[in-house]
Structure 1
Amino acid sequence: MPSINLRPWREELRAKRQKEFIAMLVAVAVAAGGLFFLWNTQVSGMIAEQKARNSYIKTSMAVLDKKTKEIAELKKKREQLLARMKVIQDLQGTRPVIVRVFDELVKTLPEGLYYTSLDRKAAQVDIQGVAESNNRISGLMRNLEGSEWFANPNLRDVKAAKGGDQSAFDMTVAQVTPVSEQDDKGE
């Protein structure tokens, strides 16, 4: 006899396929949820790492700003020290000049004349003194003009001194520093 299959095989196949579909759907959803979780974790980690880098850069910039300010202050102090050193060197370099100026004042002083006051302002020397005669004052002016340490003597005033036989004078002269022979040669 022929056998007739009365079982609903189509419905069973459909139910089996539906169960497989649901299982696949659940597997895909679990896999998608896992991937989303991994992606979210990675992005959160990258964001946290970038925030850490940003905070490190900010602290490094603060340190560098502080060091930059310190360097600027050190440069300012250095410039001040260099300026002080230059002043000291200039003073040390011109120390012998005043000695030479006084020596030259003595060398240019003719007999019968003496100084009562010397005053130096910058490169100008004010001289006041007393002379036996006006010729002595003229001789002093010639001597100052011929000196390599002085230039442009200018007689401002001549009048009779207290005793009447002497003349009091007031003059100015420019003080110059002669160029030495070594400076001329460039040595």
Structure 2
Amino acid sequence: MLHQVNLLPWRDEIRAQHKKRFINLVVLGTLVAVIAQWMVGNYFHEQKSHQQARLNYLQQYIAQLDTQIQSLKVAEEEHKSILTRLDVVESLQSGRNKTTEFMNLMPNLVPEGVYVDKIKMNGQEIEMSGISDSTARLATMLDNLERSDSLSDVEMHSIVHNKKRFNKEFQTFKVSFMFTPLSLQNPIESDATTVRQSLTEMQSIWQEQYISKVTSQLELIASQEVLNG
């Protein structure tokens, strides 16, 4: 019985095939690793660019808000300045009207025989001094002061008898009270008050609109952030 013997270098051929297969696997693995690394790097780069774009948008929007806030502060300062000027106008108008109303009220308060020498007004407080030819007339004046709807806190500080004036003997007196004009007790809306109310209403409406706009913009940004993940 004859046996066939393979004298070819088959082991070398198998070794060469294994080596070639190994090299192919190494090359393929390297390519896969490079491609995977490139894809991951590209993904992170895109994410970074996207985040940077959103950050830039937020920074621009914040800058716009800062500008609007500065404009709002300027408007508020102008509003305060206008209100201050209105306060001055109202104060001057009130003082002028108060003096006129008090002088118109005087004939009803001071009876005949009482003579007023001096009137001092300090805000709503009024000090009045003068002379009278009898105690009864002073009592009548004091009663008139206390009955007046425009006066309060009436106080007689001093009565000095037997003071000679104009070659006659008089009684000097000093009285004080608080004066509140009827126009202030029942105020009629003035032009300054109307302007003040209009300015206040306009400022409130503007602030509400501004806050609503900012809130809607922030909600829109938040919804975009949620959608973009």
TM-score (normalised: structure 1): 0.72
Contact 2:151 2:178 in 1 (8 A): yes
RMSD: 3.3
**Structure 2 unaligned blocks of 5 or more:** 187-229
User: How big is the shift at 1:118?
Assistant: 1.0
Residue 134 of structure 2 is aligned to residue 133 of structure 1:
yes
Contact 1:133 1:166 in 2 (8 A): no
- In 1: Cα distance, 2:46 partner to 2:104 partner: 86
User: How big is the shift at 1:126?
Assistant: 0.9
SS in 2 for 1:139: helix
Determine the structure 1 residue equivalent to 2:160: 158
SS in 2 for 1:110: coil
Structure number with the higher helix fraction is: 2
- In 2: Cα distance, 1:70 partner to 1:8 partner: 92
Answer with 152-161 or 93-102: which moved more. Answer: 93-102
Answer with 102-111 or 67-76: which moved more. Answer: 67-76
Alignment CA distance shift 1:16-1:67 (3 Å): same
The alignment covers a number of residue pairs equal to 180
Determine the structure 2 residue equivalent to 1:43: 44
Cα deviation code 1:97-153 (max 9, x no counterpart): 443322221112212322221111233211122333333222222222222222324
Give the partner amino acid of 2:19. Answer: Q
User: How big is the shift at 1:56?
Assistant: 4.1
User: Larger C-alpha radius of gyration, 1 or 2?
Assistant: 1
Contact 1:145 1:153 in 2 (8 A): no
- In 2: Cα distance, 1:39 partner to 1:66 partner: 40
- In 2: Cα distance, 1:104 partner to 1:37 partner: 97
Determine the structure 1 residue equivalent to 2:16: 15
User: How big is the shift at 1:84?
Assistant: 5.1
Answer with 48-57 or 20-29: which moved more. Answer: 48-57
User: How big is the shift at 1:10?
Assistant: 3.4
- In 2: Cα distance, 1:157 partner to 1:26 partner: 123
Q: Give the % identical residues.
A: 22
**Structure 1 unaligned blocks of 5 or more:** 181-187
Give the partner amino acid of 1:112. Answer: G
Determine the structure 2 residue equivalent to 1:68: 69
SS in 1 for 2:173: strand
Cα deviation code 1:17-50 (max 9, x no counterpart): 3212212221221221122122123223323433
SS in 2 for 1:31: helix
SS in 1 for 2:166: coil
- In 2: Cα distance, 1:166 partner to 1:134 partner: 12
- In 2: Cα distance, 1:165 partner to 1:155 partner: 23
Determine the structure 1 residue equivalent to 2:192: none
- In 2: Cα distance, 1:31 partner to 1:150 partner: 101
Contact 2:118 2:130 in 1 (8 A): yes
